[in-house]
Amino acid sequence: MRTLDGVGVTPLSGVGTAAWYGERAALPEPPDPAEIDPEAERERLENARNVARTELERERERVEAAVGPEEAEIFEAHVQFLDDPQITGGVEDAIGEGLPAEHAVERAFGAGIEQFEGMEGRMAERADDLRDVRDRLVRALTDGDRDALATLPEDTVILAERLTPSDTARLDPERVAGFATALGGRTSHAAIFARAIGLPAVVGVGDALDEVEAGTNVGIDGGAGEVLVEPDDETGDRLAGGRAVAVRHGPVSTADGTDIEVAANVGRLAELDGAREAGTDGVGLLRTEFLFLDRDAPPDEDEQYETYTRLLSAFEGRVVVRTLDIGGDKPIPYFDQPEETNPFLGERGVRRSLGPDDELFETQLRALLRAGAAAGNLSVMFPLVATVGELDAALDAVERVADDLASEGVEHAVPELGMMIETPASVFSAPELAARVDFLSIGTNDLAQYTMAASRENERVADLHDPRHPPVLRAIRRTVAAGHEAGVWVGICGEMAGDPALTELLVGLGLDELSMSAVTIPDVKAAVENTDRERARDLAERALAAATKDDVIRALDGEL
């Protein structure tokens, strides 16, 4: 048995027969430029772009249904690449020089791919998006076939230099035991899709992966970040179990008896079964945006009521519903959303609910209060609240809706109400905010972005967008202290919550609830049970006293 190290992207394991997913065939040498009719090539190119658009729309719809709307947004970015003037201009120039359309695409996209590969972090991974679009166009121009990734034999382990978003989206978790790639990182789209569909995966293995031959028995340990070549029987049996950690149904406590709620982030109805199977205690973040996507008009009150009621009935534990959060990176076409220089600092979240979308906000609140009467496990929270005035206005809206429903004789109930802590402003106002609500939920993705002045979308500052920076940890601790002083529970629903390596720290910081992608729930529950609260508090104090992120990491590793 040989062990190859890489980057694990899911806490899942699998074992199966290796199959290499090879590079596409190279194009033949182009004909003499004198034989090329540029107008005919431009027409071929436009036809290929139309085919690619149609394919991307189908791919987006399929991925949205199978994985979720946020993951499917990558295909919108691919459409933008089709129309990017920097790229299309290069293709036009190459055709003008006498290249056939497919060779022109190859050259123009190759320049963009090379440029992205020269960058660092997530920007380097954008090269895979360009490859995806390039290959799609070349296939359309040459009538090429795609490898049948979706119809592989059962228990196949895919090995590849890299997988594009389209490649990964076509893998069937029922047939594929996992995949390993020589290149890629934890934030690549292949990694994101693997987590979303619950597929064991290890990326960034390097050149050592080339030595693994097709037909070899291979194990994938996504938790440890290991590819095991010809695993022995004991290791193979362990990996075939799918998880190194058993699923725990029911509540969990720390080693010294402190209850910690471990819940799921849910962004679509299709995620319900996976969340229950992973042992979730409930839903810590229900993103309602899925109800408003891929349609020409917003859902009416009755449609929303039926959906919320169905969601509530699927869980015995608490279900925290976030009111509509659009703007920033969540545009919806039929909304009148302004062009903003920096949409993350603009009109988004509760700002729209109290402004241009106030009627829609009222409709959503009516549906939620009606659903609250049908099930007693509903909680509602407001996104991106920055001021006490905004929270008061949102709470007043709930009161008005309740009064209206009462006057109409409509059965309803005012649920537990809370808000998200996502900005430094809300952290500094946490005592006043906590005094007005039943709970606070910390969104660490945005909190890190705003605290560190580092955009989530800008890969050049990706290192700053990390919740392990001391200022972010101190913001979390300050929020927890304010919430507990006011007698309300405090949860966390950002990506930080789903990292079992940070569970002890979060318990030490005093969080009452952790909400995450369903795939990581068993590992976090196991981490909670292995945590001693006193030791966790000591760890938190060392991390809070750290001067740098590296010092925090050393504290987590037990070096400080």
Kindly write down the DSSP assignment for every residue of 36-50, as one continuous string: --HHHHHHHHHHHHH
Amino acid letter, 407? S
The one catalytic residue in 103, 412, 469, 493 is 493
For the record, the structure tokens of 474 come out as 């101190």
Q: What is the pLDDT of residues 161-173, one digit of tens each?
A: 888 777 887 788 8
Active site residue 78: no
- Say if 33-142 and 255-556 have the same CATH topology: no
Residue 393's Cβ-count burial label (10 Å; 0-12, 13-18, 19+) is: middle
d(CA 24, CA 189): 20
Give the pLDDT confidence score for residue 170 in this predicted structure: 78
CB atoms inside a 10 Å sphere around CB 162: 18
For the record, the structure tokens of 121 come out as 């972090």
Query: Sign of dihedral through CA atoms 101, 103, 106, 109?
Result: negative
Q: What is the pLDDT of residues 524-556, one digit of tens each?
A: 999 999 999 999 999 999 999 999 999 999 999
Give the pLDDT confidence score for residue 374 in this predicted structure: 87
> What angle do the packed helices 101-117 and 85-96 form, to 10 degrees?
140
d(CA 122, CA 184): 10
The one catalytic residue in 189, 412, 465, 469 is 189
Active site residue 412: no
Q: Report domain 2-22+147-240's class.
A: alpha beta
For the record, the structure tokens of 274 come out as 């996976």
Give the pLDDT confidence score for residue 123 in this predicted structure: 60
> DSSP label at 211?
G
Any idea which residue has 């660092």 for tokens? 120
- Distance between first and last Cα of the chain: 36
How many contiguous H segments (helices) and E segments (strands) does the chain have? Answer: 22, 17
- Among 3.40.605.10, 1.10.274.10, 1.10.357.10, 2.40.180.10, name the CATH number for the domain at 33-142: 1.10.274.10
Give the pLDDT confidence score for residue 196 in this predicted structure: 75
Name the 3-class secondary structure at 287: strand
Cα 10 → chain centroid: 13
Cα 125 → chain centroid: 16
Q: Are 449 and 426 in contact (CB under 8 A)?
A: no
| Topology at the third CATH level for domain 255-556 | TIM Barrel (3.20.20)
pTM above 0.85, yes or no: no
Domain ranges of the chain: 2-22+147-240, 33-142, 255-556
Q: Which residues of the chain have pLDDT under 50?
A: none
Query: Sign of dihedral through CA atoms 533, 539, 542, 547?
Result: negative
Give the pLDDT confidence score for residue 289 in this predicted structure: 87
> Mind spelling out the 3-state secondary structure of 218-277?
EEEECCCCEEEECCCHHHHHHHHCCCCCCCCCCCEECCCCCEEEEEEEECCHHHHHHHHH
